[in-house]
Structure 1
Amino acid sequence: MDLQGLDSYQGGPGCDFNEHVLHKTILVGDSGVGKTSLLVQFDQGKFIPGSFSATVGIGFTVMLLGDSGVGKTCFLIQFKDGAFLSGTFIATNKVVTVDGARVKLQIWDTAGQERFRSVTHAYYRDAQALLLLYDITNKSSFDNIRAWLTEIHEYAQRDVVIVLLGNKADVSSERVIRREDGETLAREYGVPFMETSAKTGMNVELAFLAIARELKHRAGQHAKEPSFQIRDYLESQKKRASCCSFV
């Protein structure tokens, strides 16, 4: 049974939500009755037949994690719509193409639930990939990454894909966390890392495509086939786009 959630909450700087309005609407029903199309119609004002149909042969669940205000919701909106918006929350599906195959990512934004960790915990076990964000202009959000990783190791699947993201790289004048600090922490925990900007789109699509590629490779990997290295893939892609990176 598929569940699609819509939440309203305060998303931190850059995404102004009313923290006094907290509600959840869940679409429930058998597969194929049109739950996702109904959500897309509400969100985008248009009907897209077959967008997330059974023709997509493989699908995975992705969660966005991190302290309140690091930009999780804006990060999701940038990937989903290619726009930096405020006042909107979407828990959505997105179909991407990896090596000619269509891969569906069901993406859950946990923003607004940080105060209710038990709610977030319920979703950990269902996620195949986690994007863990901190704000490069907020030291406490970076310091709390260790706590987030501890929770992930306790509640998530053993082989969950984790990518650490230093968000808001466009606000370089307010930076308090060096890129090197993020790289050092990522090496300590053995996870890939890169800096992103939900506002400009820097490395947003790359983050999702990388985990989609990793998950697809795992699902179809043969015994003698070399494993896909998500860290090497991210580094190679970042070098190709280095002209657009922030310093």
Structure 2
Amino acid sequence: MRIDGAAEAQRVFLQQHQLEDLSPYEMPNPGNAIMKISRDIEYSLYKRAERRYRAAEVIRIITSGGTDIVSSVVRGFPDLDATFLSVSQHRKSRAGRSFEQHISRLLRDGRIAFEEQAVTGGRRPDFVLPSLVVMKAKNRTFEEAMVLSAKTTLRERWKQVTMEKFNCALFLATVDDRVSSAAIDDMNNQGIHLVVPESLKKSKETCYNGKTNVITFREFFDEEISSKRPSYRRT
């Protein structure tokens, strides 16, 4: 099954907000925009398409076992179980890919130089800014390059980022609202800055507020890009 609603979700958001593109410099809260597009709009589009596809698949499995529904379900249970497992796995992988696509769109529409999935040192970070050439330059400073990783949910997976030591600033973008205070402190000790939606940073339900290594998408684009690294911006 191929259900790719990232581009369609972006189109719906732009239409709803009467925007021409997803430049983070044309929106007050780019992080909230990404969360809205991925969690609400795209998920709704995906569920609608998934329902049509999976319903037909379940009906095929059940009806292939004969006219007795109970017996058909029993006989078809292994196939049904595999179908529902596939649904769960596909949802998780789709969410991760889509989140990267939405961040890529923000960078592109914001005219920010970057490379996606660039292989360096045997690793493949989600985004290298401004380029792999700059990243690999032996005479560059620590601040001249950065790695931006994207993970919808963190759990223990944030530790993958610490393995990717590139002698540059490390940023981890997420929409996860369940990251513990201890995990955030551990990331700080590893030199990782979290980039989160504006509403999550302010929320009393998260542990982000008051953490020095947690910034919003707004702060990321204004301070880390425009102020500290203006050369990343294409004219």
| TM-score, normalized by the shorter chain, greater than 0.5 | no
The structure that is strand-richer by fraction is 1
Q: Which has the larger radius of gyration?
A: 2
The structure that is helix-richer by fraction is 2
Calculate the TM-score normalised by the size of structure 2: 0.35
